[in-house]
Each structure stands twice: as structure tokens, then as C-alpha cells.
């Protein structure tokens, strides 16, 4: 079933060779055709994404205050906050000396290594059709995260494993093409509750998406562009 503002069959990643799920308090994150393991306590943030003028911004950035965050962040190239920072970091930015670790999935930055004054090393590699960036002062942590990169292991063609339920989120790129933005296994009760909520909400008129950022706004809070898609899958 697809629960979204506009239903559409999304393109899924190619059928991969499955890797073992994350263990020891780690969790798996997915973007496009990539799955990677990160510490389970890490929170979420942004990753560099190009704005309409071509500049790259991170919303929110890994560090938003005078001190390092207690935990790392997992960022995707989407806007999650109106607190943003330009990337590359501007002179005297707190991010230049921070040691807060982070992972960026699909960041729009070149492959390579950047070393910062505070000792943090940022490594960006190309993996499975997208980019993976790990920033940390801990070489072992960087190696473990980079080494866990593998083809996306959920939301695959052919359905889900018997007894499992998945939620698959697909975002739009600048060309309006759908790509996998997140993939999670959820409790079957979550699927039931979500479907019931979607049925109560009714449908958005054909050709429109949900109220959102004002891009080609018609004055009524509708945006003239295709919608993102959230798909709930069970066996």
C-alpha cells in the first residue's frame, strides 16, 4: 500500500546481497541504494544540499551551539530546520574546530578527505550510487561506519520477508524523480494504525501535493509539483 499525497510507483534499488543487520547498540540507516550502520544513540540532522542559487547549506548543521553535541548526528540532504549553515564552513565557524561526529548520506560534496583544526577528519566516498560521508576524530569509528556500507537491504523488489513490515520513504530530486530516502522495519501494528489514519484523512485532489514550502504556490497553500511517497509494505 502507498500512503501519500499522490500515489506513484517509485523506483526501488536493485536487488542486493543482504548483509547482517546492525548489532551491539548500532542501527541501520538507508539512503538511495545505500545502507550503513551508525551508533544507535545518534540523532538526526541535515547534510549539504544545493539551494536554488547553487550554494550548499546544511539545515541543521552538526553543531548549533558553543559546545560539542553529546552525540553524533545522521544527516540527509533535506531541510529539517530553519537553522542553517553554509558549506564549506565559513571562517571562524564552530564547525571548523568541533569534534562532534556525524554521518552524511547523499551529501552533494566531492569525494575526498578534509582535515579540520579540531582533529576531526571528514571522509567522503562514493558507494552504491550515492555518497557516504563520515566525520569523526576517531579513526576506528570512521573505519567501522565506512566498512558497513552495503547495498540497501530494505524496500527491495519482490516484497518483504515473511512476517515483516517495512516503511519506505521516497523523496523527490530536482528533476522530480523519486529515490529512496529512508527504509525501516516497523511493528505490524504501526502499519495498521497508519493505514487507518490515512483513511480518515481523505485524499488530496489529483495533481496537487500537501501544503508545504511555497514553490510555484497557487495562493491556497498548494504546491504545483509531484508529491513525495511513503510506502508501507507487508507480506
Cell numbers standing for residue 65: 551551539
Q: Going by C-beta distance under 8 Å and a sequence separation of 6 or more, which residues neighbour residue 91?
A: none
**Mean pLDDT, consecutive 10-residue segments, the chain of 235 residues?**
41 40 80 90 90 84 74 88 90 90 93 95 94 96 96 73 75 68 74 80 64 47 57 74
What's the Cα-to-Cα distance from 199 to each of 15, 145, 226, 229, rounded to whole Å?
31, 39, 20, 16
Q: What is the DSSP string of the chain?
A: -B-SSS---PPPPPPPPP-PPP-TTEEEEEETTEEEEEETT-EEEE--EE-TTS-EEESS-S--SSS--SS-EEEESS---S--EEESPPTT-GGGT----EEEES-SS-SEEEE-TTS-EEEEEEETTEEEEEEES-HHHHHHHHHT-EE--SS-TT-PPTT-EEEEEEEE-TT--EEEEEEEEE-HHHHHHHHHHHHHH--PPTT---S-S-SSB-SSS-BSSPPPEEEEEE-
| pLDDT, position 17 | 35
- Measured CA to CA, the distance from residue 62 to residue 101 in angstroms comes to 8
What pLDDT was estimated at residue 175?
A: 63
pLDDT score recorded for residue 23? 64
pLDDT recorded at residue 82: 87
Q: For the full predicted model, state whether its pTM sits above 0.85.
A: no
Round to whole Å and give the CA distance between 74 and 192: 28
How many residues are listed for the chain in this entry? Answer: 235
Amino acid at each position: 500500500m502507498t500512503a501519500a499525497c499522490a500515489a506513484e510507483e517509485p523506483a526501488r534499488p536493485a536487488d542486493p546481497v543482504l548483509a547482517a543487520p546492525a548489532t551491539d547498540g548500532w542501527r541501520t540507516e538507508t539512503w538511495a541504494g545505500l545502507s550503513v550502520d551508525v551508533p544507535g544513540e545518534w540523532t538526526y540532522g541535515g547534510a549539504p544540499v544545493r539551494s536554488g542559487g547553487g550554494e550548499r547549506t546544511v539545515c541543521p548543521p552538526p553543531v548549533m551551539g558553543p559546545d560539542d553535541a553529546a552525540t553524533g548526528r545522521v544527516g540527509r540532504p533535506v531541510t529539517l530546520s530553519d537553522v542553517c549553515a553554509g558549506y564549506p564552513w565559513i571562517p571562524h565557524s564552530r564547525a571548523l574546530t568541533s569534534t562532534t561526529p556525524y554521518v552524511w548520506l547523499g551529501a552533494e560534496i566531492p569525494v575526498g578527505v578534509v582535515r579540520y583544526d579540531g582533529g576531526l577528519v571528514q571522509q567522503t566516498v562514493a558507494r552504491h550510487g550515492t555518497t557516504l560521508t563520515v566525520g569523526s576524530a576517531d579513526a576506528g569509528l570512521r573505519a567501522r561506519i565506512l566498512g558497513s556500507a552495503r547495498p540497501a537491504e530494505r524496500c527491495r523488489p519482490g516484497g518483504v520477508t515473511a512476517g515483516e513490515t517495512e516503511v519506505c520513504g521516497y523523496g523527490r530530486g530536482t528533476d522530480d524523480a523519486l529515490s529512496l530516502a529512508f527504509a525501516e522495519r516497523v511493528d505490524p501494528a504501526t502499519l495498521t494504525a497508519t493505514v487507518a489514519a490515512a483513511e480518515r484523512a481523505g485524499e488530496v485532489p489529483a495533481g496537487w501535493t500537501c501544503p508545504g514550502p511555497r514553490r510555484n504556490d497557487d495562493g491556497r497553500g498548494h504546491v504545483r509539483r509531484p508529491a513525495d511517497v511513503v510506502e508501507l509494505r507487508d507480506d
